[in-house]
Chain A
Amino acid sequence: VQLRESGPGLVKPSETLSLTCNVSDYSISSGYYWVWIRQPPGKGLEWIGSIYHSGRTFYNPSLSSRLTMSVDTSKNQFSLRLRSVTAADTAVYYCARDREYHFDYWGQGALVTVSA
């Protein structure tokens, strides 16, 4: 199973951060939740949200008002949109597979910087 994040590496303040995670060698439709996790520079891991292939989602309450996650099973990918970003949203963003309580496959991570 391979995951790869893609999207702009630089986003302006107040705009929307958009990332996509492409999954290889495993069909998202086969099951499990799929998650986004981020890590600000020099800091710890923060769960952003989880999505099932049906579209059911769980969001971090601290981000839920700005967050939308979606899944496209035809392309075997899932996506993240975070609105109204600030410098505090600068982080490495990881996508991962949630194999029943633990994250067994991770993407390499994508650095997103919020700056004018």
Chain B
Amino acid sequence: NFMLTQPHSVSESPGKTVTISCTGSSGSIASNYVQWYQQRPGSAPTIVIYENKQRPSGVPDRFSGSIDSSSNSASLTISGLKTEDEADYYCQSYDSTNHVLFGGGTKLTVL
């Protein structure tokens, strides 16, 4: 079964850049689009990247997404970190049978 693996946690200082990875277990992660969601405590997730690298309106251009086929992974990069970026981040994609998959989530600490 196809799975998405994320680091449990990452931390970085304000103003710096952080990258969160999402690695596919088998097959090609590039076969289906990857999305990224931000979830602050007590709130529903909100989308920050869709279709690998597209930003919804209202999401700052400090957020960017990419795919690396050589490592079978997707990445979310946040530059110019702000304390408000501290949240859990989830990658999401689909498997070959159109079933939705989520990564386990990464807790971003901005300190």
A contact residues vs B (CB 8 Å cutoff): 35, 44-47, 50, 58, 60-61, 94, 101-104, 106-109
Residue among A46, A101, A103, A108 making CB contact with B51, cutoff 8 Å? A101
Q: Looking at B45, B46, B105, which has the most chain A CB atoms within 10 Å of its CB?
A: B45
**A47 in contact with B99 (CB, 8 Å):** yes
Query: In chain A, what residue has the closest Cβ to B46?
Result: A106
Which of A50, A60, A101 interacts with B32 by CB under 8 Å?
Answer: A101
Supposing A44-B105, A45-B105 touch, asked if A104 and B47 sit within 8 A by C-beta, the answer is yes
Chain A residue at minimal CB-CB distance from B33: A101
A102 touches B99 (CB 8 A): no
| Most chain B CB atoms below 10 A, which of A44, A45, A47 | A45
Q: Inside 8 A of A45's CB, which chain B residues have their CB?
A: 37, 39, 45, 90, 92, 102, 105
The CA-CA distance from A45 to B35 in the complex, in Å, is 13
Smallest Cβ-Cβ distance to A104: which chain B residue: B47
- A-contact 0/1 string along B92-111, CB 8 Å cutoff: 10100111111111000000
- Distance in angstroms between the alpha carbons of A69 and B110 in the assembled complex: 40
Contacts of A102 in B (CB 8 A): 33, 35, 47, 50-51, 92
17 A-B pairs in the complex with CB atoms less than 8 angstroms apart: A44-B102, A44-B103, A45-B37, A47-B102, A50-B100, A58-B99, A60-B99, A61-B99, A94-B45, A101-B94, A102-B47, A102-B51, A103-B47, A103-B92, A106-B46, A107-B44, A109-B44
B56 interface contact, C-beta 8 A:
yes
**When chains A and B are docked, how far (Å) is the Cα of A109 from the Cα of B42?**
9
Give the chain A neighbours of B35 by CB distance below 8 A.
101-103
Bound CA span A61–B104, Å:
18
* A14 → B minimal CB distance (Å): 27
Residues in B whose Cβ lies below 8 Å from that of A61: 99
Closest chain A CB from B31 CB (angstroms) = 12
